[in-house]
Every structure is written in structure tokens, then in C-alpha cells.
Amino acid sequence: MPDFGYKISKDRQINFDENSKNLFAEVAMREPSVYRCISCGTCAATCSAAQFTSYSLRKMILLLKRGEDKEVITSVSRCMLCGKCQLACPMGVNTRNLILSIQNAIKKLSHV
């Protein structure tokens, strides 16, 4: 192949139809309070990890719903499970169990 000096840019558009939503389904089954989330960001504002990394539980829930699993998988390990988000959440989302559910669901689905 000739050296063009550039590569075809990667498409960053979410292709909703091609993304699998299995991980979200598995997580929602384990922790149905995820449906209560209104994307307010209270969790991320108080989160220790979010102060120093790009981690955001609010974003992670949306990424799950859109099937952007790769980003969820790289992101979820940043949580230190302190539980501050659960105190802050105005909607009663069981955030600690949500994060554990995401981790367990990832393990389960990666074995399949």
C-alpha cells in the first residue's frame, strides 16, 4: 500500500442499530433502579474518581443504554466504591449495586 501520510478517520458517531444492548439488559435485570436515572449528574459531581479522571456514572449509564460497551468496560474500574454517589442520588438509584452489577455483567457476558 502506498504511504498516503494519513489514515481514514474513525467514525465517532454512535451507530445505535449495530450496538448490542445485551450488557444494559443484563445490568437492568440485576439493578432495575437504573431506569430511575434522570441524568442530572449529581453522582458525578460528588464522585472522587470524577475529579481526576473522565469517569462519570451518569455518562456510563447512558453509554450502557446506547450499547457503547467498550467505553463502559474501560471506565467502570475507575470507581472506588465509596458510595458517595448513592447518598447524593435524588432518584434512589442503587448506584453501588449498579456498579457491581455492571462489573458482574461484563464478567458474565465476556465468558459467553
Partner 1 sequence: MSKKVLIIGAGVAGLEASGVLSKLGYNVTIVEESDRIGGKLNRWSHLFPSRRPASEVLEHLQLNLDPNTVIITNSKITDIAVKDTSIEASLNTGKHIDADAVLISTGFELFDAKKKEEYGYQIYENVITSADLEKIFKEGKELTTSKGKAPKRIGIIHCVGSRDEKVGNTYCSKVCCVTGVKQAIEIKEHLSSCEVFNFYMDLRMYDRHFEDLYQEAQVKHHVQFIRGRLSEAFENPDGTVMVKVEDTLLGKPMKMNLDLVVLLVGMTAGNNSLFKKQLRLETGTDKFLVPADEHFKSVSSKQKGVFFAGACTGPKTIENTITEARAAALEIAGYLKN
Partner 2 sequence: MLQEGKKALWKEYQKEIADDRYFYVRSCVRQNFFPASETTFLRILTEELGKSVYEHPHHTSCSGVGYHSDVIPFETTMTMVARQFALMTESGFMNFVPSCITSFGLYTEVLETWHHFPEVEARIRETLRKATGREFEKPANLAHASDIIYKLRNEIADRAKYKLVNHNTGQPLRGVEHIGCHYAKMFPHKGVGGAEYPYVLVGMIESWGGEVVDYPERRHCCGFGFRQYLVKANRGYSVASSKKKFESMAPYKPDFILTNCPGCPYFLDRWQYAIAEMEGTTYGEDGMGIPVLTYEELAGLVLGYDPWDLGLQVHQVSVEPLLDKMGIPYNSSKKYLGKNGKFLGVPFKPAAIKVC
Q: Interface with partner 2 by CB under 8 A: which residues?
A: 1-2, 4-11
Nearest to 93 by CA among 57, 59, 68: 57
The listed partner (partner 2, partner 1, none) that binds 39, CB under 5 to 8 Å by sort, is partner 1
Calpha distance 16→84 (Å, rounded): 32
CB closer to partner 2, 8 vs 112: 8
Q: Is 36 a binder of partner 1 (CB under 8 A)?
A: yes
Radius of gyration for the chain, computed over Cα atoms and rounded to the nearest angstrom? 16
- SS3 state of residue 103: helix
Binding site for partner 1 (CB under 8 A): 12-17, 28, 32, 35-36, 38-39, 58-59, 62-63, 65-66, 68
